[in-house]
Structures are given as C-alpha cells and as structure tokens.
Structure 1
Amino acid sequence: MSELIRHIQRKAEALEERILAIRRHLHAHPELSYREFETAEYIRSQLDELNIPYREEQTGTIARIQGEKKEDGKVTSRNLALRADIDALPVLEANDIPFKSTREGVMHACGHDAHSAVLLGAASILQSLRHEFSGTLNLIFQPAEEKSPGGAKNMIAAGALESMNSILGEHVNPGLPAGKVGFRSGLMMASADEIYMTVHGKGGHAAAPHSVIDPVLISSHIIVALQQIVSRMANPDTPSVLSFGKVDAPGAMNVIPSSVRIEGTFRTVNEEWRERALGEIRSIAQSLASSMGGSCDLEIIRGYPVLENDPSLTRRSMELAKEYLGEENVVELPLVMWAEDFAYYNREIPGCFYNLGIGNGQKGWTSPLHSPNMMVDESALVTGAGLMAYLALGELNLP
C-alpha cells in the first residue's frame, strides 16, 4: 500500500465524525426536488468552513478546488468534476433512528444525503491535498435528480462542466456490502420515459353496458396489447421494460366511469429502439381506443437518456479502487433498468458512475432504494470519501 493511500485513509478516518454528522443532519431535514433551499444552504455552510469557493445556481452549488502542484514551473490544465445529488423522495420513513426524517412524508430513501456527505468528505481531503495535484476540481451539488427533467441539465447549462476533462459520481447500493464498490464499463443504466394516458368513453350504469362506451374495458385491452411492444417488437438482445403502475377508474361497483387514467414507464438501453417504441405506444393505444369507440389522450414525458460509462475512465477508476480497497472489494456490476440523470453529464464529457456498497446483512440493512426502511451502514461513508479523493487524484495526475 502506498504512502498516499495510507495518508488519505487516515484523513478519511479522522473525518468520520464530521461526515456522519453531515449525513445525519441532511437525513433529518430532507427536501423534495427543486425545493432544496435549506439543504443547499447547509452544504454551502460546510464549504465555507473548508474555505472552498463556490457559486450558487438556484438550489444547486458548483464549488471549485484549484490544484497547486506545478510541473516545470507551471500548473497544468487537467480538470475533473465530482458530482453528488441532494434531493429527497416523497416517502414516509419507517426507520426508528435518532436522526429520522423530521418532515413527514419526505425521506432520503435514495441515499442522496450519503452522496452529499461523501462528496463533502472528499472535498475536505482534496482541499488539504491541493499541493498533490494540478488542474481544477469542480464539485457539483446537484438538485432534482429524482424528478424529470432532472437537475443535471440545468447544472450543465450553468457551466458545471466547462473546461472539465471528465466526471465521476457515485450512488449508494444496499445490495452491496459496506466496504465494497462496483463499476460497469459501457452501458450501465436504462433510459426512462413517463407515459400518461387518459382513455375516454361514455359512462353509465354497469347493468346497461350496451348504452355505454366502457373506458375500463378499453384500458384493459390497451395495457395488454402494449405488452407486445416488448415481447414481439423489441430485439431480444435489447433489454426493455414497459410497466404500468397506476390505473385510476373513478367509477363504482355499479357505475362505469367516463374516463380512465393510466400511468406507466418505458425503459430501454438503445436510443434508436427507444424512439421507435415510443411511437408504437402512441399508435397502438390511440388506434385501439378508436376501434372500440373511445379515444385516448397520450402524453409522453421524455426522461433521462441511457447511461453509458466511458470505458477508459471506468477501467482507470477500477484499477485505482483496487489499489485503495483491495481487489476483493471491487466488483463488476450488472446492467440495470434504473435511470439516472448523471447520463446527461456522460453525454458531454467522459464519465464514470459507480456504486458504493452500504448494505449490512448481519444488521438486516438490505432494504432497497426508495424503500421506507432503506438504511445506510455509515462505515461506508468514510470508505466512500477516501476512495473518491483517491480516484480524483489519480485522474488529475494523469500524464
């Protein structure tokens, strides 16, 4: 193990109390997407304590650490961005912990409190090691990852990636034990589009079906028919998911309603197929409703694109992670159908999005993300902060 790794690990361990305090404060005071006013204020107060300059972009923050290492009397221009998201979810927390959410119905159930704490911990380490790297670090504290169109696009428009050569970001993973991290080169996460349909018919008495145009029946046919898009139109080599999670038919036992509201999501890992499939969804739904005497209003909200990690950057990051944590603690991740607006950053510059294990099977802390019981093994946060600092130094000091 190199002296630099030991030095960073000692610094990370010394920061444990601070990192945990940050995470617990944020966890107790969660805020929803685009409303992270107190969260942003708190993060900026932490940056002030570290003497790290920043600029405000609504509830987003872009901080900057300038390296001081000189080669041939000059500071080189290798630049790197690090990103954490800061918003919470509309979830009622079920955990009984001292720092349980104080805002009913709002919870950091996706671990963004941990992401922010890890990045602030890494920032503290890197600020103290400015003499070890040249170039510039941008620290992006991004709002609204959980709600389309996502905060990443706004941060990019605000110049968060200006002059940056690459970007790193991490996401907690309860399925990985604390102390382990996971990487995946190339395709990592799916695109995600939101589907909203209102099927119109003619309501009336359930005992006189001949006098109505039943939107419940039409909706049932539409939902079943749309499944052929994945089962019969998609290439079997292209993962795709079409799921409907909400059907609202405001009738009664003996009342057929006039309309039915359906909400769902379509996800895939191929942008060309994505375009075709969305067109098929619209065509099938509207033509089928019309053939049964009704109509269908359909709105598709374009969500995040496919997340694809840069192979070279991911390979370098994996090797650095093995140096820092040991080869046995670095795993390769499977392709998943989740979505992340980190994908927008990866479309602009080479990016690597990796997973930080936070699970603890012995304590039963394995509930999935977005769950009211999601828990974080906080020992992982110290690991995450030190690792992120080491990955950043490795990338900034490339020849």
Structure 2
Amino acid sequence: MDSQKIKSLAQTYAPEFVVVRRHLHQNPELSFQEYNTCAYLKEQLVSLGVTDIESVATTGLLATINGDKPGKTVLLRSDIDALPILEENKIDYASGNPGVMHACGHDAHSASLLLCAKILLELKGDFSGSVKLLFQPAEELSPGGAIKVMQEKAYVDLGRIPHIGQHVRPDMPVGKVGFRSGKFMASMDELFLTVKGKGGHAAMPEKLIDPVLISSHIIVAAQQLVSRMADPKVPSVLSFGKVIANGAINVIPDEVTIEGTFRTFDETWRKSALERLTKLVTTMAEAMGGSCELKINHGYPHLKNEALLTEDLRSHSQAYLGEENVEELDQWMAAEDFAYYSQQHPACFYMLGVGNVEKNIQSGLHTPTFNMDESALEIGGGLMAWLAIKTLSL
C-alpha cells in the first residue's frame, strides 16, 4: 500500500468532513444522551456505503468495512459525547445547545473516523481483513460507555483484536502526532466526603464540633497518601476541587462536603490507596469529635499501550508523516475509558496535534474556548486508514 494514495484521498475528501465536524460541534449532546448524534453518524455511514452497522450501548454504533479478502480484524474507536460547558467561541458553528459543548474534540474524532471509513471503502481491493469502526458514547461520564460496549454480544464475538484510538491535543501543533508505549494515562476515582459535626454560633466554638476545622485537617493530612504512602516511582495525584461549608461569617454549619479525585498508574496501589484514605479520613474525623463518610465512585483503570502494537504504529506513522512529526509523549494524569479496552486487548491510544499558535488556536481541552485547526482532520482520517491497513498486514 502506497501512503501517497491515502494522503491524496484524505486531501480530496477532507473538506466534506470539516462540514461533518462543524455539524457535530453545533449539535452536541451529553453522555448517554447522544441520540441525535448517533442517528446522524449512522446516516453518514449509510451515505458512504457502509452496510454492516450495529447499535451498541444504546447510543453507539459498531460498523464494519471488509477488504476484498478475509483476514485479521482491527478496531478503530471514536468517542461521540460532549461536555456540560457553555461555549465562548465566536464562530459560525458554535454550540446551539446552551451549556453543552464539544470541548474535548469528540466531534473531530468522529469526523476523522468517518473520513477514514470513506478512504477504506475506496481501498477495499487493496487490503485483506476487516476494520471495525466504533463510535462510542459516554466517554466523559463514569462509568463510561466503553464498559457498556464491552458487554454487547457484537463486541464480545470479536475476540481479542488490536484496538486503536486517536485523541486531539491542542498543546501539540497541527501536523504532529504523539505516542507512548506502556502506561500512558492514569486511573481515575471520584471521591465524595461528608464531614459531620455540630454547628452553631461562631462566637461559641467551645459548644460546637467544627466540621470546617475537621475538613481542613483532613484535606491536608490526606496528602500523606501521595507524599508518604505511595511508592515514589508510581505517579499518584490526590486533588480536592470542591469544598462546601454552607455557613456564614458567624455560623458554623453542621456538615461540610468535599469532592475530589485520586489518580495513579498501578491497580494494586490504587486499591490499597483508597483503603488507606478511607481509614485516614474516618479516624481523623472521629479523633476530633466528628465523623466522616467517604463514598468512592470507582472510575476508569489506567490506560496502557501495548508495546509491540504501539511501536509498530509509531513506525508506520513516521513513514506516513515523517520522523520529525512523530513525538514521544510523557505520561498523562488525565483519564480515558479507552483504558478498559487496553486492559483486555492489544491497544494503542495516540495523540493528534490540533493546535496552531498563529491562528490563536491553543485553548486547552475542557475549556469554553477550545477549538482546533481543522486541517488536522485530513491528517487524522488519513493516518487512521493507513494504520488500520498496515495493522491488518502484520
């Protein structure tokens, strides 16, 4: 397979999928609510000539493109949901759903995968095997759509096959892609603490059990989990981002609520850390006369890129884009439910540069001004088609 042939097709067809990306951007839907998005994506697949399309996880799709001869199978994954963010971009295709925005690039992921599908359909005679196109719902909301997809018979019947995922990165310039073998993204657990005491007048602390003070000690002491209990060689993050003590300048409340997250790259340590955290916060609150309840929403596991597959894809990407455009990535403490696939299959999740400083396109993911250089769609769609075909030929 000549990479120039794929590049030419990607360049020719990319403008069509800029239109698709803008439609999706203008019509975002939240996790587990992507009904119109799913219907639109199915229409696009049918219009391309894809005939094998199955519904998965209610609002997701699993489509199949077969080469002219039987062979191996590879799965390409895109996520399709948006975030509860009010968009601030002044663009013609800004979100038409107030308070909901494609601030993580899932519109671009979907458009790229559709462009990839169009290229693969045109090249059916040039490859053997099957490419599965997964448009997955609800990546942004735990427990995530991946775990639901993996329970579907259509998915289970695939067996153990390579999984490839692509994600936009605005801190990487357009034209670049990035890979990392091994542990790449962190696990993610959500923490919800309720600290209870006895409220009352702030001028009479001797008559109270102050949950605000208890909470302050808990927040500081809990950092021991990372600074003194974790193996320094295992990256760990414990952060509390929301504290509500609904009192007043002269009122101590009866309780305080705290919300946070714990992230790491080791599943054994993850389990141990959460057990230690539970013991720490409850005993500290009791020692100060109050109580603390910790509820843990167990989220995604850590994401690991299988070494052999990742190195193959890195090499193929260098052949497609040039060595100077393929970067080595650091570990990333963000979380992704693609991690579920990576725990059971040879998988690779790589980054696609979409930033452009000259065009002032550099806002981060999950911000109200996130946007992308749309020329990245041509690169993303073409590269995925190239990587799929090369993986089937291994």
* TM-score normalised by length of structure 2: 0.98
Measure the CA separation in 1 of the matches of 2:32 and 2:198.
39
- 2:312 counterpart residue number: 316
- 1:128 counterpart residue number: 122
Partner residue of 1:181 out of 177, 181, 191: 177
Measure the CA separation in 1 of the matches of 2:105 and 2:150.
22
Cα distance, 1:362 vs structure 2 = 1.0
- 1:65 counterpart residue number: 65
Spell out, residue by residue over 1:260-292, the C-alpha distance to the aligned partner (whole angstroms, 9 max, x if none): 010000001111111111011100000011111
Letter in 2 for 1:208: M
Relative to structure 1, the CA distance from residue 164 to residue 54 in structure 2 (aligned partners, 3 Å threshold; closer, same or farther) is farther
User: Per the alignment, in what secondary structure is the counterpart of residue 21 of structure 1?
Assistant: helix
Cα distance, 1:165 vs structure 2 = 1.9
> Are 1:151 and 2:145 an aligned pair?
yes
Partner residue of 1:254 out of 241, 244, 250: 250
Letter in 2 for 1:55: E
Measure the CA separation in 2 of the matches of 1:87 and 1:305.
20
- 2:29 counterpart residue number: 31
Measure the CA separation in 2 of the matches of 1:188 and 1:213.
44
C-alpha contact (below 8 Å) 1:204/1:255 kept by paired residues: yes
Spell out, residue by residue over 1:326-378, the C-alpha distance to the aligned partner (whole angstroms, 9 max, x if none): 11100010001011010111112100000000000112211110011111000
> Are 1:237 and 2:233 an aligned pair?
yes
Measure the CA separation in 2 of the matches of 1:130 and 1:16.
19
Indicate the percent of aligned positions where both proteins have the same amino acid: 53
User: Per the alignment, in what secondary structure is the counterpart of residue 103 of structure 1?
Assistant: coil
Measure the CA separation in 2 of the matches of 1:130 and 1:251.
66
> Are 1:288 and 2:284 an aligned pair?
yes
Spell out, residue by residue over 1:176-206, the C-alpha distance to the aligned partner (whole angstroms, 9 max, x if none): 1001100000010010000000001111111
C-alpha contact (below 8 Å) 2:196/2:211 kept by paired residues: yes
Cα distance, 1:18 vs structure 2 = 1.1
| RMSD over aligned Cα atoms | 0.9
C-alpha contact (below 8 Å) 2:75/2:162 kept by paired residues: yes
- 2:44 counterpart residue number: 46
User: Per the alignment, in what secondary structure is the counterpart of residue 155 of structure 2?
Assistant: coil
- 1:116 counterpart residue number: 110
Partner residue of 2:261 out of 259, 265, 283: 265
C-alpha contact (below 8 Å) 1:79/1:163 kept by paired residues: no
User: Per the alignment, in what secondary structure is the counterpart of residue 264 of structure 1?
Assistant: strand
1:373-384 paired onto structure 2 within 5 Å:
373-384=369-380
Letter in 2 for 1:11: L
Letter in 2 for 1:28: Q
User: Per the alignment, in what secondary structure is the counterpart of residue 236 of structure 1?
Assistant: coil
Measure the CA separation in 1 of the matches of 2:212 and 2:359.
46
Measure the CA separation in 2 of the matches of 1:11 and 1:160.
30
Measure the CA separation in 1 of the matches of 2:392 and 2:147.
24
Measure the CA separation in 2 of the matches of 1:347 and 1:138.
19
- 2:55 counterpart residue number: 56
User: Per the alignment, in what secondary structure is the counterpart of residue 365 of structure 1?
Assistant: coil
- 1:72 counterpart residue number: none
> Are 1:160 and 2:147 an aligned pair?
no
- 1:13 counterpart residue number: 11
Cα distance, 1:163 vs structure 2 = 3.4
Relative to structure 1, the CA distance from residue 130 to residue 164 in structure 2 (aligned partners, 3 Å threshold; closer, same or farther) is farther
Cα distance, 1:101 vs structure 2 = 0.4
Measure the CA separation in 2 of the matches of 1:396 and 1:269.
30
Relative to structure 1, the CA distance from residue 301 to residue 355 in structure 2 (aligned partners, 3 Å threshold; closer, same or farther) is same
Cα distance, 1:164 vs structure 2 = 5.0
Letter in 2 for 1:114: A
C-alpha contact (below 8 Å) 2:160/2:344 kept by paired residues: no
User: Per the alignment, in what secondary structure is the counterpart of residue 106 of structure 1?
Assistant: coil
Cα distance, 1:160 vs structure 2 = 2.5
Relative to structure 1, the CA distance from residue 270 to residue 164 in structure 2 (aligned partners, 3 Å threshold; closer, same or farther) is closer
User: Per the alignment, in what secondary structure is the counterpart of residue 338 of structure 1?
Assistant: coil
- 2:87 counterpart residue number: 93
Measure the CA separation in 1 of the matches of 2:61 and 2:308.
28
Spell out, residue by residue over 1:41-97, the C-alpha distance to the aligned partner (whole angstroms, 9 max, x if none): 11000011012120112101110111113xxxxx23x11000000000011111100
Measure the CA separation in 2 of the matches of 1:314 and 1:330.
12
Measure the CA separation in 2 of the matches of 1:208 and 1:120.
65
Spell out, residue by residue over 1:113-168, the C-alpha distance to the aligned partner (whole angstroms, 9 max, x if none): 00000001101101111111111111100000000001001111113352352110
C-alpha contact (below 8 Å) 1:16/1:382 kept by paired residues: yes
Spell out, residue by residue over 1:189-244, the C-alpha distance to the aligned partner (whole angstroms, 9 max, x if none): 01000000000111111111111111100100100000111011111111100000
Instruction: Note the residue ranges of structure 2 that are not aligned, 5 or more in a row.
Output: none
Measure the CA separation in 2 of the matches of 1:131 and 1:156.
30
- 2:201 counterpart residue number: 205
> Are 1:141 and 2:129 an aligned pair?
no
Structure 1 stretches of at least 4 aligned residues deviating more than 4 Å after TM superposition: none
